[in-house]
Amino acid sequence: MGTCTSKDTKEQKKINRRIEEQIKKDQSMSLRIIKLLLLGAGESGKSTILKQMRILHKDGFSQHDLMSIKPVVHSNCIHSMLAILRAMFHLQIEYSDPERVQDSQLVFATVHSNKEELTEELSAAMQRLWKDEGVQECFRRSNEYQIDDSAKYFFNNLQRLSQADYIPTEQDLLRTRIKTTGITEVLFELKGLTFRLVDVGGQRSERKKWIHCFEGVSSILFISSLSEYDQTLREDNCTNRMQESLKLFDSICNSPWFSDVHFILFLNKKDLFAEKIHRSPLTVCFPEYKGQQNQTECINYIQWKFEQLNRSSQREIYAHHTCATDTQQVQFFIFSKYQLQILKTEATRPLMIYLLMFNRQIHTRQSIRLLEFSVTCLVFKLLV
């Protein structure tokens, strides 16, 4: 019986050892699964980041995936033109060519028929409308009504989008707008770590769902659209979008829920901001602003407005102003060659990082690489 007991003891020790090894392995894996939560107001560009991560670090999108968004592309095109035509009526803007009235009637008829297919006939009509100076004037005043940011991109590609053999590209997919409802996520590998990026709807009606995602969050990626300083929310056509974003950031950044959570802040759509800042003053959003009406000074002021909301003196802010054609994008590639050395240098600094990114809905791969670098900085500090 003693021999039997001895064998049982040895076997139990082996089992215990395997269990302990598995526990250690699981703990090690859990340390390397970094949960990132995408937060921000609606239409700030959160879902675009999620799509980019899938393109860069997963299998991307299959042809079936791309074909499935073809109706969405067509719908976005048609409804964007519809938004302009309706706005022309309310803003009392006339067509420069009276014949465009007939083209506009075709757009209205298409929507009313619930057949939102971008036929060659409809595409030709919309192309003529887009070239009309009255339509262009209305588009320049797009801050006065609701229209998708990608409208110009789609209007400039109408001929391609209406071809019978049209297959959406990844860029088309990134430009499409589908209201995010519920919770979506993507898992991806980067620098030997597994990231779980979670996106939740940014509209007011969706924010009550955010609390279900708070557990286990390593970092929050807060996205705010820089170009929306002179626009109002779709939800009420009254509240300034930038003010809404600042208010939301304040509540999240200083929430007890996230006292130990790291933040990355993206101020998105620099090129759209650059297009409108010379015709639409920053005082529309910030009446107290006394600076020059130029891009650099206005950007610095908006950055300062966000920075002032951070109430923790222990949090250091790292700001990066970038866009697809900015030399800082090139600088980043040079910068990344020394990434490990920089990470080691920065590892002893405070753990709160803000990345202020200015780019057109984060559509460029360069911008996403900058996001990856920023996140890697945070992760390195967590694991060292």
CA distance to 40, 172, 263, 309, per residue, from 367 (Å) = 18, 17, 17, 25
Strand, helix or coil for residue 17: helix
Nearest to 225 by CA among 184, 273, 180, 177: 273
Cα torsion at 306, 312, 314, 316 (round to 10°)?
Answer: 0
Strand, helix or coil for residue 372: helix
Give the angle 143-354-342 at the CA atoms, nearest 5°. 135
Residues that are catalytic: 43, 48, 177, 199, 203
DSSP structure string for 194-208: EEEEEEE--SGGGGG
* Burial (Cβ within 10 Å: 0-12, 13-18, ≥19) of residue 59: exposed
- In angstroms, the CA 118 to CA 133 distance is 23
CA distance to 87, 109, 142, 226, per residue, from 145 (Å) = 7, 21, 6, 17
* Burial (Cβ within 10 Å: 0-12, 13-18, ≥19) of residue 134: middle
- In angstroms, the CA 332 to CA 321 distance is 11
Return the DSSP state at 43.
T
Return the DSSP state at 362.
T
- In angstroms, the CA 225 to CA 149 distance is 11
Beta strands 33-40 and 183-190, pairing class: unpaired
CA distance to 8, 55, 148, 263, per residue, from 42 (Å) = 61, 22, 12, 19
- In angstroms, the CA 136 to CA 128 distance is 11
